[in-house]
Amino acid sequence: MCICNIRFEHKLTNTIMKRILLSTVFTFGFLINTFSQTTLSAGDLAIFMVQTRGSDDFAFVTFVDILPGTVIYFTDCGADADGFNTPCTEGAFSYTVPSGGLSAGDIIRFTDDPSIFVQYTDSRINGTSFLLSTIGDQVIAFQDASNPGGSTNAANNPRFIFVNNVESTIFAGDKTDSNETGLPNGLTDATALRTALGLGAGPGPGDEFDTAIYNGTYDFSSGGIAAAKLAFSDLSNYYQTNLEDTTYNSLIAAIPSNLILEPSLSNEELDVKSLNIDVYPNPVSTFLNIESSNYIINTNLFDTNGRLINTYNNINKSLFRISLDYLESGIYFLEINSSNSKRITRYIKI
């Protein structure tokens, strides 16, 4: 199975705007974005994997471009048309979109880098433990309806975006129960374009599966956004299990690697001693050196829109030199995978 990042076609205006943004705000070695944040609507992203068995895990795909600084909250608190319980003693995380922004089709997985998810509490959600229960639970994505850049009381005024519920096939649960949820305001489980996925084993509370994961294709370049939304909201495209069996493991392995964008660019940032990988010089005019105490397995080069420009496979060297003199001036992303399973993504300026 081909494992590749999802990328959808972007309108020319969006592409031009991103390139202008990324080429003009590079100052003092830092990439700074001054644009406002993105207000998300129901269905602008889909939570396509929830894992309550063993280590908690979830993943989402975005169907829209999202500007840097946008804040999205994820919680296992139950909700209904009136919002969250007051208070909910379960937990929540906030995720802030990094400086490069996200493009439609990007995937973010919680366990790829849990440090980018920050524990969140307020007067409505005051629990400090995001613990998905093996007797059924849900993950709800929401924004602060008043401020897409986040606030200190986001759960009081939530704009619900998506919910994946493995506790039941319907949304009639009691939100005061730590394992149940109703249907959050503005979401639907009754149309083809579902924004609420009921992926339990039956309609009753506790008719659960430990895990639900998308088992469709990750390549929607031909059908675009509309086809992707339909596929990810189709209940028949999900595999549910209580066991980490062969099918489950293969579907986990098939989740495309997300591109975690770094918040800044500088020579100091690129000298990644903690990961034993050095990338130099930066900026670069002709040759870029990649040096590691471990063998470099492969390197992927992307443009600012996440398009793959080149892949260097089976390098098996501790020092590798890439010729970049064929590239136009601008900002690029370099993803490096080494033999000790370290993966980093860094900005490169040409």
This prediction has a pTM of: 0.67
List the one residue out of 290, 225, 201, 211 whose CA is nearest residue 51.
211
State the pLDDT at residue 330: 75
pLDDT at 111: 84
What confidence score (pLDDT) does residue 320 get? 79
Report how far Cα 78 is from the mean position of its chain's Cα atoms. 22
3-state secondary structure of 111: helix
Q: Which residues pair with 60 in a beta bridge?
A: 47, 108
**Closest by alpha carbon to 53, among 136, 152, 111, 149?**
136
Q: Quick one: pLDDT at residue 316?
A: 66
Is residue 99 within 8 A of residue 67, CB to CB? The reply is no
pLDDT for 211: 94
Phi-psi region of 258 (alpha: psi -120 to 50; beta: other; left: phi over 0): beta
Contact yes or no for 313/287 (Cβ under 8 A) = no
- Judge contact between 158 and 79, C-beta under 8 A: yes
CATH 2.60.40.3080 segments of the chain:
267-349
> Which neighbouring-strand residues pair with 163?
140, 196
Per-residue pLDDT of the chain (350 residues; tens, 9 = 90+): 443 444 444 433 344 344 433 333 333 233 333 346 899 999 999 999 999 987 789 999 999 889 888 999 999 999 999 999 999 999 999 999 987 788 888 899 998 777 789 999 999 999 888 888 866 799 999 999 999 999 999 999 999 999 999 999 999 999 999 999 999 999 999 999 999 999 999 999 889 999 999 999 887 666 788 889 999 999 999 999 998 889 998 999 888 876 443 333 333 333 344 446 677 887 888 888 887 766 666 788 877 656 788 888 766 667 778 888 888 887 777 777 766 555 566 667 77
Whole-number pLDDT of residue 44: 96
- Phi first, then psi: what are they for 273, rounded to 5°? -65, -35
Nearest to 62 by CA among 75, 48, 73, 51: 48
Among 2.60.40.3080, 3.40.50.2300, 3.90.700.10, 2.30.30.180, name the CATH number for the domain at 267-349: 2.60.40.3080
